[in-house]
Amino acid sequence: MVVTWSSTSDILVRKTRYPCDGATIRSLVLAEVPPHSLIRHLEKSDERVALAALSLMKALHDKSDAFSREQIVKHLDSVPFRTAISGTLGKPVLESEVNTLLSGDVVRAAATEEGQLDEWAERLLATPLGKLAISTFSNYADQHAEDLRILVSENSMRVSGAAWQLIPVWLHCSSIVATVLGVIPDGEDCVEKLIELLFRCDNAFDALFATTVQLFHRTWREMHASRDEHEKVANVVQEQIRRAATHRPANLDKLEELLLALPYWKIKELWKRELIEKENNQMNSEIVSELRTLLKPSIEQLIRINRKNILKQGFTFRRQVKGKTPHKDQYCFWKLDASEVLCLTDTDADPYVEGVSHVGNVRKVSIKDISLVDRGEDMTGRKSGGQSMRCIRIVLHNGDSICGATFSDRMLSAWLDGLSDLVGGGPLSHDAQTTADRLLNIELRLRLLDVPNPKIML
């Protein structure tokens, strides 16, 4: 008598099914099939065997407890596993596979110049990712046909020279994904941060590639890139993915959400902030602080020489005589001559031009006759609209004083510093000290450029 499944009772079916998918059989498989034992099957010439081994490893990870999953992940980072995977993925591309890919309608439509398909074919045949690249591109063209059509259509509407090229974009995107996932070892992989996402995706590489293509298109638009800037955009895209991966997204939707929060302008802000922080760390390090102390006297001396040169060029001050109203010669041209004698020429011109402007009384003051140089009280001129004039005062040993006024803070500081240094030194003014610090920082940054990876001792 023949009994069919349709005629058996539900109780019999459940009892028969239990040993096949219950907790008992799962524990048995996990115990008898250690994941690391499957790695050797990845080197089989038959790709079906390798695919079956990978699928079983993924299933074992999904059904394992937290500790066992951690052990499986460690095996994925082992040299045998990486060697087996890279050996399989790096197989050379067949010309027939390239021709099949380039024969697609959308791909052909994306080639806007004569001979571009031939150029793309050469690049595809030379790609170091081999079959992985061709397989990824073909899967994307088949599974995301509508997205691809929209991207190519939008790209075709760009002005001449501002459109990206399809195959170079695909090659850059596949290289980015391969780098992030550690297929191309360069120390920048994010496998450990994306491990949960990878195991949640049926085709992780293809899924990340599709996301990267969309991101490349968006970033290209945000950067206003031109046709020769594929690599520049690719570097930004890789940085966006790397930063998003630091948040350990659990699935593809979360990754895309993080990428939307990292547009190009945001990346530039982050780069600028990090550069400032890096420079500040360097400038505040113990070694650089010692160098700053050594360089500071020479920089300050440079400022003093600069101030003295300003004195030798001369400047027209407004004459200020206490208790008297301004008269015809209401300006005075101050200049330090070659013998470092201060010459004061009364004039009615501002600015004073030697040999042209009216010349009144000329007075010469030797530096040795000067007792003190300081800043006088600010005053407001009748025609200045309420703006205060800055005053400088020279006190002589005989008790006389000479005053000049100007609206220029910069010139006032220069003359105060220059005359004070000639009279007997003294601290630099706030303006001069600010200039010295700025020059010192520039000098330190230039010197740090010549130091590869300077060691910072915080």
Token pair 């079983």 is at which residue? Answer: 56
Q: What is the pLDDT of residues 108-132, one digit of tens each?
A: 988 888 788 999 999 999 888 888 8
Q: Which of 26-30, 264-268, 310-314, 373-377 has the lowest mean pLDDT?
A: 26-30
Mean pLDDT of 260-286: 88
Sign for the pseudo-dihedral over CA of 367, 370, 374, 375: negative
CATH 2.30.29.30 location in the chain: 296-440
Q: Which of 210-214, 272-276, 323-327 has the lowest mean pLDDT?
A: 323-327
Confidence of residue 351 (pLDDT cuts 50, 70, 90): confident
DSSP states of 204-255 as a string? HHHHHHHHHHHHHHHHHHHHT--TT-HHHHHHHHHHHHHHHHTT--SSHHHH
User: In the numeric block, which tokens belong to residue 342?
Assistant: 């201060």
Mean pLDDT of 297-322: 85
Q: What is the pLDDT of residues 66-76, one digit of tens each?
A: 777 777 777 77
- Cβ atoms 359, 373 nearer than 8 A: no
Confidence check: pLDDT of 457 > 50: no
- 3-state helix, strand and coil shares in percent for the chain, rounded to the nearest 5: 60, 10, 30
Q: Which residues contact 379 (CB under 8 A, 6 or more apart)?
A: 320, 388, 389, 391, 405
pTM, entire model: 0.60
Q: What is the pLDDT of residues 191-223, one digit of tens each?
A: 788 888 888 888 889 999 999 999 999 999 999
Closest of 265, 126, 233, 244 to residue 180, by C-alpha: 244
> How many Å apart are CA 403 and CA 392, to the nearest integer?
6
User: Span 296-440: which CATH code?
Assistant: 2.30.29.30
How many CB atoms within 10 Å of residue 260? Answer: 12
Q: What is the pLDDT of residues 370-396, one digit of tens each?
A: 888 888 777 765 555 567 788 888 889
Query: Quick one: pLDDT at residue 184?
Result: 75
